[in-house]
Structure 1
Amino acid sequence: MSEKVVYKDDTIIEFKKPKMYKVILLNDDYTTMEFVIEVLIAVFHKNPTDATQIMLDVHEKGKGIVGAYTYDIACTKIAQVEEMAIKRDFPLVTVMEPD
């Protein structure tokens, strides 16, 4: 989807919305449910109810979609999750895929 802007001198500039990427948490046998909720609140700014629902998706379905972000933001959020997980000795894995 794009948006065009036409100036008085007939210059046309077309703006395209950036491609979005889904950030997904993957289940493992070691990361605690409490830590997953903590990550969802701290990194993704989810409220406790939404964080709990996403955590349950991760636990029951093997993965949970956290949200859709531009490429750079998705990469940053994944790096933040990895940093938190390493500090707490959890093997939590976060991936992204095109939305």
Structure 2
Amino acid sequence: MTYHGDNAEQKGSGKQIMSDQDNDGGGLPNTGIVTKTRPKTKKPSMYKVLLLNDDYTPMEFVVHVLERFFEKGREEATAIMLQVHRKGVGICGVFTYEIAETKVNQVMDLARQNQHPLQCTLEKE
């Protein structure tokens, strides 16, 4: 086999053999920086879960709902329940859409099972 220059062809094989040198003869391999660009991720929209006042749902049931589905302590749950009672609406928490929707459905299902007219909704923040 005979080699001629940096880019030689093996006689009879048709294979080209490449050298480690770059094309300008500087002796260094071709190097470059590969960068990955990450698309900017958008934060998900957040939704408030609201309880609405009515004249029939017992206050203790509202406190129970806040403790069970929104992980509120007794004191915080009572404060939110009183806000619902006095102002007509109270914020249970702020969540992504899927979580807020699930919590609204859980509250509404439990209220219906207990024959309470409690209303729970979500609102984009």
* TM-score, length of structure 2 as denominator length: 0.71
Q: Which has the higher strand share?
A: 1
User: With CA pairs under 8 Å and 6+ residues apart, which has the higher RCO, 1 or 2?
Assistant: 1
Identity %: 51
Supply the distance in 2 between the matched residues of 1:84 and 1:26 (Cα, whole angstroms): 15
Measured against aligned partners, the alpha-carbon deviations of 1:58-94 in whole angstroms (never above 9, x if no partner) come to: 0000010111110000000000001110111000000
Residue 44 (structure 2) aligns with? 18
Q: Which amino acid aligns with 1:59?
A: H
Measured against aligned partners, the alpha-carbon deviations of 1:32-62 in whole angstroms (never above 9, x if no partner) come to: 0000000000011101010000000000000
Q: Which amino acid aligns with 1:39?
A: V
Supply the distance in 2 between the matched residues of 1:12 and 1:53 (Cα, whole angstroms): 44
Q: Which amino acid aligns with 2:78?
A: T
Supply the distance in 1 between the matched residues of 2:65 and 2:41 (Cα, whole angstroms): 34
Residue 5 (structure 1) aligns with? none
**How many residue pairs end up in the alignment?**
92
Q: Which has the higher helix share?
A: 1
5+ residue gaps in structure 2? 1-33
11-20 or 57-66, larger mean C-alpha shift: 11-20
* TM-score, length of structure 1 as denominator length: 0.89
Residue 70 (structure 2) aligns with? 44
5+ residue gaps in structure 1? 1-7
Supply the distance in 2 between the matched residues of 1:62 and 1:32 (Cα, whole angstroms): 14
